[in-house]
Amino acid sequence: MTLTTKAETLRPVPYVLRDKWQETADTWSMALEPAEAWLQADRGEPGQFNMLWAFGVGESAISISGPTHGTGPLVHTIRACGNVTRKLCAMKAGEVVGLRGPYGKPWPIESLKGRDLIIMAGGIGLAPLRPVVYHILANREDFGRVSLLYGARRPEDILFANELSGWRGRMELDVLITVDAADSSWFGNVGTVTRLVRRNPFEVDGAAALVCGPEIMMQYSAQTLLDAGMNQDSIWVSMERNMKCGVGLCGHCQVGPEFVCKTGPVYPLERIANLLATREM
């Protein structure tokens, strides 16, 4: 049930900003609902993204960060870092946003049933992984032990902090957090997210890992997981590239033979490892 016909995929459709809340100093989440009755939202799957449009400014690729099951509004979490994202984050409830999507290949969660999972995120990279957590929580018995390893720059940059402690408190997943730098008021881990792999002993056999963050973080994380004994075919990463069209047409998101918007953003590591390891691809 896509909202647009094939030939119209470059035209956004109107969504109302129902609600908006601040996550960190520079990051907001927004709940969107179709602005018109005839629009039937395609909720997408965890790992997919939408192109969100601020009227008169432009579009940005933004991952779905809310639950993909159920019927609530579509949630996206946006870091204000440039023209479009700043404009989107400044919008008020009741205003209308343009949306087209969902695009891209999702995390392969259906195929991971029965396995232990390691979810590794850096910074805003937690946003596209949160729908995975929601899916797991809604189908908890389908998965084995689940560990969420999250790295943020500073304690105040930790995304979804309340939710993270809620998940930890309910013991439904192991939640380990680290920051790059902190003052003495922080009692948690300091250092890179890769260190959490060693702090969180896990059974390599049968485990799968989903990794999202800056490219360099994904490269080191993947290496750490491989060093710990995991296979390339059990690790998935989500690539971030400049995107203009989202449908394999504008050429901007290319990495080697891949159109990240179309064959990604989620890739099995074995498919992308060489490209990820080559500098300046």
Partner 1 sequence: MSHDVFKADSKLPDRLLVALREQGYTTIGPTARDGAIVLDEIHASADLPVGLREDQEAGHYRLQARRDEAVFGHTVGPQSWKRYLFPPNHRLWAAKRSGGSFEIKPQHEADHRLAFIGVRPCELAALEIQDRVFFGEEHVDPHYAALRTRAFIVTVNCAEAAPTCFCGSMGTGPRAEDGYDLALTEILGRGRHEFLVEVGSERGATLLEALELKPAGKDALEAARKKAAELAGSMTRRVETDGLAEALMANLEHPHWAKTAERCLACANCTMVCPTCFCSTVEDVADLSGDHDERWRRWDSCFNSQHSYVHGGNMRPTIRSRYRQWLTHKFAGWIDQFGTSGCVGCGRCITWCPAAIDLTEELAALRGAVTT
Ligand X SMILES: Cc1cc2nc3c(=O)[nH]c(=O)nc-3n(C[C@H](O)[C@H](O)[C@H](O)COP(=O)(O)OP(=O)(O)OC[C@H]3O[C@@H](n4cnc5c(N)ncnc54)[C@H](O)[C@@H]3O)c2cc1C
| Residues making contact with ligand SF4 (CB under 6 A) | 251, 254
Q: Could you tell me the smallest distance in angstroms from the CB atom of residue 243 to ligand FES?
A: 4
Pick the piece of the chain touching ligand X (CB under 6 A) from 12-20, 60-68, 133-141, 224-232.
60-68
In this structure, what DSSP letter does residue 247 have?
A: S
Please report which helix (H) or strand (E) contains residue 84, including its range.
helix 83-90
Tokens of 104: 């891209």
In the bound state, the residue with its beta carbon closest to ligand X is: 82
Q: x/- contact string, 220-259, with ligand FES (CB under 6 A)? A: -----------------------xxxx-xxxxxx-----x
Q: Cα separation of 144 and 190, whole Å?
A: 28
49 touches, from ligand SF4, ligand X, partner 1, none (C-beta below 5 to 8 Å by class): ligand X
Contacts of 181 (CB under 8 A, 6+ apart): 153, 154, 190
Q: Does 10 bind partner 1 (CB under 8 A)?
A: yes
The dihedral of CA 263, 266, 271, 273: what is its sign? positive
d(CA 31, CA 48): 16
Residues in a beta bridge with 107: none
Q: Which amino acid is at 142?
A: D
Residue 90 as a binder of partner 1 (CB under 8 A): the answer is no
Binding footprint of partner 1 on the chain (CB under 8 A):
6-12, 14, 16, 35-36, 55-59, 81-82, 94-96, 98, 214, 240-242, 244-245, 247-252, 254, 256-257, 259, 262, 278-281
Binding footprint of ligand X on the chain (CB under 6 A):
49, 58, 60-63, 65, 77-79, 81-85, 124, 127-128, 240-244, 265
